[in-house]
Amino acid sequence: MQVIEPHMHMVSRTTDDYLALALGGIHTVAEPAFWPGFDRSAAASFHDYFNQLTVIEPARAARFKVRHYCWIGMNAKEAENLELAREVLAMLPKYLDRPTALGIGEVGLNKNSRNEITIFEEQVELAARRRELLLIHTPHLEDKLKGTRIIMDILKNEPRITPERVLIDHAEEHTIGEIKENGFWYGLTLYPDSKGSPARAVDALEIFGPERICINSSADWSVSDPIATLRSANEMRRRGYPEALIGRVFYENPKEFLSQCPKFSAA
């Protein structure tokens, strides 16, 4: 089977993981810009990071015939520092112009603070002005429901943003319904301790249907699994779903969303 991994942080993964992806049929990955597990001390660190996302990782992936795309943005966790965040925002257009950058992401909220909201709104404005796709990070755990609602209110207040060009990620059982009702795409993240499991992802698929869903591993520097999408595909198989539906969820859906950026071409 063919799988597109729409959200994985390959800068934090070993080269062996690229081989595992290729062997499993994951030949296309999209990597959002995110928080590296520590707060960076200067804007120069973001230049290096965005260069890694747009130059180094595509080359590393190509050794295994994996196509690597990325999202460029200022993550919510480091947005609390407004001065640093605005320095980073000023450099975004340069990297968004690169040939494998698909849009602005992952941006959104972390603890739902005023500074996080300010920097998110400024990136929504940038996305609207440049007609960029948006990949949204929703807060973790107890902050997710509140943050998802604030994010959707901000997006709905920007008339130049259309919901079919926005994917709201890390959705869970208590946020999926509202995201779908508002017309956005949504991502389910398979993250062992703090997000979803393959079984819960397939439960959500059964409850909410296969429309506008993208399932991802979000594998990064913490406890995570780069082939979690394959495990979920297998969970669908275990429940008797046909290969055509499995292919729709793990290949056709991410392809449809990401192909709204003309730079994207699935392997």
Partner 1 sequence: MTRPSCKLTAQEILDTYFLENRARLLEIASFLDRVDRAADAAAGQGDYRYRAFRKALGLLLEPGAARTKAIQVNFSDPSSEPIASAVGLKATGAWAGGGDAGN
Contacting residues toward partner 1, per CB under 8 A? 80, 110-117, 139-146, 149-150, 172-174, 194, 199-200, 203, 206-207, 238-241
Torsion of CA 79, 84, 86, 90, to 10 degrees: -120
For the bound state, the minimum distance from the C-beta of residue 139 to partner 1, rounded and expressed in Å, comes to 7
First to last CA, the chain: 12
**Of 56 and 145, which CB lies nearer to partner 1 in the complex structure?**
145
**Of 66 and 201, which CB lies nearer to partner 1 in the complex structure?**
201
> Is residue 170 a contact partner of residue 137, using CB atoms and an 8 Å limit?
yes
Q: CA–CA separation, 179 vs 223, rounded Å?
A: 27
For the bound state, the minimum distance from the C-beta of residue 102 to partner 1, rounded and expressed in Å, comes to 27
Q: Sign of dihedral through CA atoms 214, 168, 267, 227?
A: negative
For the bound state, the minimum distance from the C-beta of residue 98 to partner 1, rounded and expressed in Å, comes to 30
For the bound state, the minimum distance from the C-beta of residue 225 to partner 1, rounded and expressed in Å, comes to 17
Cis-peptide, bond into residue 158, ω within 30° of zero: no
For the bound state, the minimum distance from the C-beta of residue 151 to partner 1, rounded and expressed in Å, comes to 12
Torsion of CA 112, 7, 170, 207, to 10 degrees: 160
For the bound state, the minimum distance from the C-beta of residue 176 to partner 1, rounded and expressed in Å, comes to 9
**Of 47 and 140, which CB lies nearer to partner 1 in the complex structure?**
140
Measure Cα distances from 99 to 29, 157, 262 in Å: 15, 30, 10
**Of 54 and 75, which CB lies nearer to partner 1 in the complex structure?**
75
**Of 173 and 243, which CB lies nearer to partner 1 in the complex structure?**
173
Location of structure tokens 């780069």: 226
**Of 16 and 142, which CB lies nearer to partner 1 in the complex structure?**
142
The 8-class DSSP code of residue 140 comes to P
